[in-house]
């Protein structure tokens, strides 16, 4: 029993890391905040993204999450709104890039929490995750953890299959997200301390990622609405 409990926690942690780690708009915000304003700002931004997961978890637990699936126009509106926000935040990231290149002070009040939270709540990948895999985690049964990991899911299918509906799995899942949102900024800040030119590079890359995802989300959202 104890072995099964530990394995469920580890599998949940792996699942949480698989959701949080892939490149995307939320990690772009976390990276920008980390190299421009420091580790605390990066963790706060990551907490914003994790808060969205907690909200989706509660909605899935209450059965409300299925409303989004039943109303495609609502989903389309959310995705379109998210795309517009990503383009807006991409412009903000470009400004951060310019400020870091000129040596201007950008250590003012951070909006990373709000930006990551809103983007995560309108992120179609995150919405789809909680409508499918997230709901499955709550019901007794089994789930193929790595098969849902972006980019490499097909190759990793069948490697880690665990029982669902357990507190251990959910605790491990959110624990894995915590590890990422604290460890990822720490790595970036430690690297930035050794490479003075990293901050504008990361801020520029964040702007590019946000812009690309913003265009893709707008296309997806408008297509759904039409």
pLDDT in tens, 4-29: 677 778 878 877 887 787 777 888 88
User: 153-175 burial by CB neighbour count: b if 16+ within 10 A, else e?
Assistant: eeebeeebebebebebbbbbbbb
Percentage, residues of the chain above pLDDT 90 = 12
Q: Is 103 helix (H, G, I), strand (E, B) or coil?
A: coil
Q: How far apart are CA 171 and CA 209, in angstroms?
A: 30
Candidates 190, 101, 134; CA nearest to 16 is 134
* Higher-scoring residue by pLDDT: 155, 60: 60
Q: Is 149 helix (H, G, I), strand (E, B) or coil?
A: coil
Torsion of CA 137, 79, 63, 139, to 10 degrees: -10
pLDDT digits (tens, 9 = 90+) for 39-90: 999 999 999 999 998 988 888 777 765 666 667 776 677 777 777 777 777 7
* Burial classification of residue 107, based on how many CB atoms lie within 10 Å of its CB (0-12 exposed, 13-18 middle, 19 or more buried): exposed
For residues 176 and 20, is the Cβ–Cβ distance under 8 A? yes
pLDDT digits (tens, 9 = 90+) for 51-65: 998 988 888 777 765
Percentage, residues of the chain above pLDDT 70 = 67
pLDDT digits (tens, 9 = 90+) for 194-222: 655 666 666 677 677 777 777 877 787 78
For residues 210 and 87, is the Cβ–Cβ distance under 8 A? yes
Q: How far apart are the first and last CA of the chain?
A: 52
CA 62 distance to own-chain centroid: 22
To the question of pTM greater than 0.85 for the whole model, the response is no
For residues 121 and 55, is the Cβ–Cβ distance under 8 A? yes
Q: What pLDDT, on the 0 to 100 scale, is given for residue 193?
A: 64
Q: Find the helix packing angle between 39-62 and 167-194, rounded to 10°.
A: 160
Q: Is 162 helix (H, G, I), strand (E, B) or coil?
A: strand
Residue 178 predicted with pLDDT over 80: yes
Which of 9-23, 73-87, 149-163, 170-184 has the highest mean predicted lDDT (pLDDT)?
170-184
* Burial classification of residue 206, based on how many CB atoms lie within 10 Å of its CB (0-12 exposed, 13-18 middle, 19 or more buried): buried
Cα distances from 41 to residues 55, 92, 107, 149, 194, in angstroms, run 21, 16, 9, 27, 19
């Amino acid at each position: 029993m104890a072995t099964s409990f530990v394995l469920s926690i580890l599998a949940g942690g792996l699942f949480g890391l698989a959701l949080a780690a892939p490149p995307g708009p939320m990690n772009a915000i976390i990276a920008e905040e980390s190299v421009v304003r420091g580790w605390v700002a990066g963790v706060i931004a990551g907490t914003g993204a994790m808060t969205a997961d907690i909200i989706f978890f509660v909605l899935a637990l209450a059965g409300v999450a299925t409303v989004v699936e039943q109303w495609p126009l609502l989903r389309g509106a959310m995705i379109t709104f998210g795309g517009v926000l990503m383009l807006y935040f991409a412009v903000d990231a470009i400004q951060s890039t310019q400020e870091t290149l000129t040596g201007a002070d950008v250590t003012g009040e951070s909006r990373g929490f709000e930006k990551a939270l809103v983007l995560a709540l309108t992120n179609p990948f995150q919405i789809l995750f909680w409508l499918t895999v997230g709901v499955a985690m709550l019901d007794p049964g089994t789930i193929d953890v790595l098969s849902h990991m972006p980019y490499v899911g097909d190759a990793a299918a069948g490697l880690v299959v665990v029982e669902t509906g357990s507190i251990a799995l959910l605790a491990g899942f959110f624990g894995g997200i915590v590890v990422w949102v604290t460890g990822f900024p720490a790595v970036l800040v430690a690297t930035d301390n050794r490479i003075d030119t990293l901050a504008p590079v990361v801020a520029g890359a964040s702007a590019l990622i946000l812009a690309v995802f913003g265009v893709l989300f707008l296309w997806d959202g408008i297509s759904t609405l039409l």
